[in-house]
Chains A and B, each alone.
Chain A
Amino acid sequence: MMKRLVIVSSLLLLVLAAAPVQAATPLETVQAEVNKVLEVLRNKSLKEEVKRETLRVIYSEMFDQEELSKWCLGRNWNKLSEAQRKEFLPLFQQVLEKTYGDRILAYSDEKIVFDKEVPIANNRVEVQTRAITKSKQIPMNYRVFKDKSGTWKCYDIVVENVSLVMNYRSQFNEILAKGTPDELLEILRKKVKGQKA
């Protein structure tokens, strides 16, 4: 009985997480998304390309690319024109999807422990998790915010205490201190091209 309840409720959670739901807590949202990722990774019958495609869909559900990009660029976001922003978003998304895909496809046998939620600010929460591998524990914290539809979306991941957003910001800051937004876009275009090859 208990078991069935757990199964039913976890199934419900999966279904519900797909649609924007007000009630899901940040931790539940992140957990549902991460579990979907793990399910894909552990499914041996899927081909790598199918896996990659599925992961891409989950990624865009889980992350808010615009919010994440704004965090990565910080004040530099204002330096970009509307057209430049339009080009920046998908380019940067492709870079992230590729690396996120590569990285995550290499794993399968880890256990993820969902520890707790820590509020950061108004409408922003950090969900703290740990990936437990054979040789160590890696703290991975997801920072989420409530978007306009009321869904919790990721805008930063902090792996082993290193914030992805702040890491990118340091790079963009330096590149934009010396060069123009157009030059940054050119670097990104080249990078995406190189990744496809």
Chain B
Amino acid sequence: MKFLPLALALFASTLVGCAHGPQAVSAPTPGGEMPLPATPAVASYSLEQPSAFLQLAKDEAASPATADAPGEKAEGDEDDFDYGTDDVPAAEQVTIADPWEPFNRAMFTFNDRLYFWVLKPVAEGYSAVLPEPARVSVGNFFSNLRAPVRFVNCVLQANLIGASTELFRFMLNSTIGLAGLFDPAGGEEIGLLRQDEDFGQTLGSYGVGQGFYIVWPFLGPSSPRDTVGMIGDYFSYPISYLDPWYVWTAVRGYQAINDTSLQIGDYEAIKEAAIDPYLSVRNAYIQYRQKKVEEKGGTILKSEPDIPGAGTPARGVGTEAAPQK
């Protein structure tokens, strides 16, 4: 019956919406007993602040050091190691409430069909006409236009190194990179890598939890936080100001086709590997986003010292960036 609390916690987490802070879990104390998650009845939904109820599939204790008491397991498991979550990084253990699951599953199917029936065939035809280097350049061009989005979010996260990286990248790539078609700044000689920051991550770094899972038609996996993020980024993306609306639609559509043409096979592989593709994509999305929030500003310094908790404000820059509690 050792897994009863876990089952309860999981069950509760699917029933009760619960926000996740960027610091989803504290470091497990070696050898010590993990505090049990709050009882499900106490778990409350809050979008604004990370809840104390760590909605992780977290087991009670059992670090390798204390797990050598096989007698307590009625199942008679021969292992003395507990495949719990003790030293799995918190970002990978994160779960998300899904109160809209029926709607989300419908939208997932819609997007799936949209991909296989429309987007993929069109992208394949397009790939046949335009060779890959050209499509990479088109991707670079749009990516360069997104520089304001990344710059603004670096600034909002008080990540000054990131912001200046984006600024220099934009200046270099817009000029010697021929209006962004090439990415000399990101090359090995200069090594200014793109800072994939968006407003969803900025909100996350302020301590806003994901909330719950949403699958939007056309746009795909999201959450209240990341939806607000998307709207925020819309305003700092120059393409958004294209006028009239059908020009904007056409350009965004073209961008989607070009992006797809460079990633054909990725979605198929995820789907093929999954036992339940909907659950797999949902989990991949939250793991990915959680890690993005945690490693904010951590992409430039290639050889960073192995400080536990690196990626949190202990970066030296932006001490005020993330109220992490």
Contacts and interface: CB of A to CB of B under 8 A. Distances in A.
B46 interface: no
B283 A171 contact: yes
Contact of B64 (A77, A121, A135, A188): A121
Interface centre among A79, A120, A160, A162 (most CB of B within 10 A): A162
Interface in B270-306: 272-276, 279-280, 282-284, 287-288, 291-292, 295, 306
A165 B86 CA distance: 14
B3 A166 contact: no
Contact of A175 (B85, B276, B282): B276
Nearest to A167: B283
B89 to A, nearest CB: 8
Nearest to B96: A170
A144 interface: no
B92 A177 contact: no
Contact of B275 (A118, A168, A195): A168
A98 B275 CA distance: 13
Given A121-B64, A161-B287, A166-B88, A99 B272 contact: yes
Contact of B284 (A96, A167, A188): A167
A54 interface: no
Contact of A75 (B84, B86, B291): B84
Contact of A70 (B7, B83, B291): B83
B275 A175 contact: yes
A134 B275 contact: no
Interface residues of B, number: 48
A71 interface: yes
A166 B91 CA distance: 10
Contacts of B34: none
Interface in B5-32: 6-7, 10-11, 14
Interface stretch (B36-44, B119-127, B131-139, B241-249): B131-139
A174 interface: yes
A152 B135 CA distance: 40
A161 B291 contact: yes
Contact of B280 (A158, A165, A171, A188): A171
Contacts of B83: 70-71, 73-75, 77
A167 B3 contact: no
Given A121-B64, A168-B275, A171-B275, A74 B291 contact: no
B265 interface: yes
Contacts of B92: 158, 162-163, 166
Contacts of A77: 77, 83
Contacts of B288: 160-162
Contacts of A170: 57, 95, 279-280, 282-283
Interface in B98-123: none
A127 to B, nearest CB: 15
A99 B95 CA distance: 24
A121 B81 CA distance: 12
Contacts of B279: 170-171, 174-175
Nearest to B133: A134
Contacts of B88: 163, 165-166
Contact of B77 (A78, A158, A174): A78
Interface in B129-160: 132-133, 136, 139
B64 A95 contact: no
A121 B88 CA distance: 10
A73 to B, nearest CB: 7
B273 A96 contact: yes
Nearest to A166: B92
Given A166-B93, A172-B275, A174-B276, A78 B3 contact: yes
8 contacts: A70-B83, A95-B275, A102-B269, A162-B287, A163-B92, A167-B280, A167-B283, A174-B14
Given A103-B265, A118-B306, 19 more contacts: A73-B83, A75-B2, A76-B3, A77-B83, A78-B75, A103-B269, A158-B92, A161-B91, A161-B291, A163-B92, A166-B88, A166-B92, A166-B287, A167-B284, A171-B283, A172-B275, A173-B57, A175-B275, A195-B272
User: Which 6 A-B pairs rank lowest in CB-CB distance, beginning with the nearest?
Assistant: A161-B291, A99-B273, A170-B283, A163-B92, A166-B92, A75-B3
